[in-house]
Structure 1
Amino acid sequence: MRGSDFAELKAFAAIVDHRSFARAASHLGMSSSALSQTIRLLESRLGARLLNRTTRSVAPTAVGQKLYERLVPVMLELESAVSEAVDATGRVAGLLRINAPGYAATMLIGPRLGHFHRAYPDVVLEVVSDDSLSDIVAGRFDAGIRAGERLEKDVVAVRLTPDMEMMAVASPDYLSTRGIPKKPADLHAHACINWRYPGSGAVYRWEFEKDGKAFEMSVDGPLTSNMQEVVLDGALQGLGILYTFNDHRIVRSIEEGRLQRVLVDWSPTFPGLFLYYSNRRSPTPALRAFIDCLLDRDSVTAPEE
């Protein structure tokens, strides 16, 4: 295989991964026009169209999908070989790709970026915000972060947070106007803020539990979104009752008096956040260092100034 062949195939795989020429070009460090030319050359050489392109989206053709599926394990094996070569030097270096929901990236990774970079300046960290539960192996990520109940069985998982408590919250102004629900059935007389799963598009059914009995229900209201910041803003601005887990923004808003909890006795807990990676791949030194950083282990110590 010529070097140009590998570059063309890598470019094709990046486009399928990102579903966008612009995002793939940014990931590869090249211009969109240069990436388009690379794909044209590949398609011309193979004599087959690999991608269907519109002004708003890009997706593999049937031929392209088959090629992509054959390429993924080869790419993974090549990346593993490179990682092993880096490991042999004893250096903590190279590209580390992490896939995480937006709230997890903000809550866990963001506050530790400086610490990790000072300790391991030769690691290039790429954090992709993804709420759609993408396949980290197909996407060639080193690891992902996910809530415990959504982990696949064939992964190695490291707990990052305690179990998470669900919280029904609303602004004091909303509750003073509409009243405080005493039981979940009362929610049918209230405005509720809904969460839509980014991957499936399904709307979350609110889950409650009391005295060992669990059930779920659908609610209605003026706002539905798949963005955590949007639904939180809606609750803070008095649009209705929000049901979400106890992340730091919710807890801080309650402490500041901007939100008030309701239905406390009915709120269950769920497994917390875990970092996970394929059990078919050994973690690289960079990933092991990253895990230590997220867990605030003493092994992550920035060099003295």
Structure 2
Amino acid sequence: MRGSEYAQLRAFVAVVEHGSFVRAAAHLGMSASALSQTIRQLEERLDVRLLNRTTRSVSPSDAGARLLLRLQPALNEVDAALAGVTQTPGSPPSGRLRINAPRVAAIHYLAPLIGPFLNTYPGVSLDIVTDERLVDMVASGFDVGIRLGESLDQDMVAVELSGHLEMMVVASPAYIEQFGTPHTPHDLSEHQCLSYRWPTDGSLYRWEFERGGERLAVSVNGPLVVTEPEMLTRVALEGAGIAYLFEHQVREHITSGRLVHLLPEWTPAFPGFYLYYPTQRQMAPALRAFVDFVKKPMPPDS
């Protein structure tokens, strides 16, 4: 492969990753017009359209998506190999890592690690994208992702991030005094429940329960539907309904008595969030440093 061909492929990946010629050009240190010409030369050489362009967005065509699926892992291998050769043994790692994570994991489990990691490895930069979709990490140009254990692909290396998690059904004492206490998940149909809508497909989340091998997915109704679950804690505290949230979102309010934990026997702990990345023969030093940092226990006061 000639140098110009490699540069064209790099340019194509950058445009897809950034979703914009302007942003990709800034990342590559070239003008948008020069980048557009580079992509045009690549498409002419391959005799196929790789990108769908509109006035507002850029996205890969079917052919472009197929190329990216095969190309991204190969370029990652090249990057890792070059980093291993060019980095002086014993020198601190450097480079950029792109991380994909659902919002709740990014805020509650990833964010506390970022400051200490960047202070330890000032040569590494992080590009974190929050997304509720189960994206193809490799095809989307991410180095690392975060998912619940139940959603991990078999061909990925997984590192535990959060430990086991627990969902909790909660309501304020004022709500319980007015409307009573549900004793089974089926009783929730008679209560004012605060609902969550999946931002990916617009469907309402069905509350999941399990006890003694019995599993239920319950559709609930109530006065509120949101796509941002962080809102629900405050609404539940005001006595406006019953919420279904992660334990870490309501722990302090249960301890203080401002919220009551309902149906605890129906919400056992489950495998939590994992850091995951593709199996690689060569791992870039920045990725290795980040994975090792996640594996290392944080100090108790962190």
Matched, 1:83 2:66: no
Evaluate the alpha carbon distance shift between residue 280 and residue 169 of structure 1 in structure 2; reply closer, same or farther with a 3 A threshold. same
Superposed CA RMSD:
3.3
1:175-218 deviations in Å (ceiling 9; x for gaps)? 44433222111111223233344445543322112234222222
Shift of 1:271: 0.4
1:199-244 deviations in Å (ceiling 9; x for gaps)? 4554332211223422222222343344333444544455532223
Matched, 1:105 2:99: no
The answer for the alignment partner of 1:252 in structure 2 is 252
The answer for the alignment partner of 2:189 in structure 1 is 188
Which secondary structure state, in structure 1, belongs to the residue aligned with residue 80 of structure 2?
helix
The answer for the alignment partner of 1:302 in structure 2 is none
Q: Aligned letter for 1:151?
A: L
Q: List structure 1 runs of 4+ shifted beyond 6 angstroms.
A: 29-34
TM-score normalised to the size of structure 1? 0.80
Evaluate the alpha carbon distance shift between residue 117 and residue 36 of structure 1 in structure 2; reply closer, same or farther with a 3 A threshold. same
Distance 1:232 1:27 in 2: 39
1:1-49 deviations in Å (ceiling 9; x for gaps)? 5655444432322333354556655655667676556545655666654
- The answer to whether the 8 Å contact 2:69/2:138 transfers is no
Q: Aligned letter for 1:68?
A: L
Deviation larger for 194-203 or 154-163? 194-203
- The answer to whether the 8 Å contact 2:195/2:225 transfers is yes
Which secondary structure state, in structure 2, belongs to the residue aligned with residue 227 of structure 1?
coil
1:112-159 deviations in Å (ceiling 9; x for gaps)? 322212211111222222221212222332222211111111122121
- The answer to whether the 8 Å contact 1:51/1:59 transfers is yes
- The answer to whether the 8 Å contact 2:97/2:287 transfers is yes
The answer for the alignment partner of 2:265 in structure 1 is 265
Unaligned runs of 5+ in 2: none
Evaluate the alpha carbon distance shift between residue 65 and residue 273 of structure 1 in structure 2; reply closer, same or farther with a 3 A threshold. closer
Q: Say how many residue pairs are matched.
A: 298
Unaligned runs of 5+ in 1: 300-305
Distance 1:22 1:227 in 2: 31
The answer for the alignment partner of 2:54 in structure 1 is 54
Shift of 1:282: 4.6
Q: Aligned letter for 1:261?
A: H
Deviation larger for 100-109 or 52-61? 52-61
Evaluate the alpha carbon distance shift between residue 133 and residue 25 of structure 1 in structure 2; reply closer, same or farther with a 3 A threshold. farther
The answer for the alignment partner of 2:139 in structure 1 is 138
Which secondary structure state, in structure 2, belongs to the residue aligned with residue 108 of structure 1?
helix
- The answer to whether the 8 Å contact 2:81/2:284 transfers is no
Shift of 1:106: 1.4
Q: Aligned letter for 1:160?
A: L
TM-score normalised to the size of structure 2? 0.81
Q: Aligned letter for 2:124?
A: V
Which secondary structure state, in structure 2, belongs to the residue aligned with residue 89 of structure 1?
coil
The answer for the alignment partner of 1:223 in structure 2 is 224
The answer for the alignment partner of 1:152 in structure 2 is 153
The answer for the alignment partner of 2:129 in structure 1 is 128
Shift of 1:296: 4.0
Shift of 1:168: 0.9
The answer for the alignment partner of 1:294 in structure 2 is 294
The answer for the alignment partner of 1:161 in structure 2 is 162
Evaluate the alpha carbon distance shift between residue 66 and residue 214 of structure 1 in structure 2; reply closer, same or farther with a 3 A threshold. closer
- The answer to whether the 8 Å contact 1:99/1:143 transfers is yes
The answer for the alignment partner of 2:96 in structure 1 is 95
Shift of 1:93: 1.9
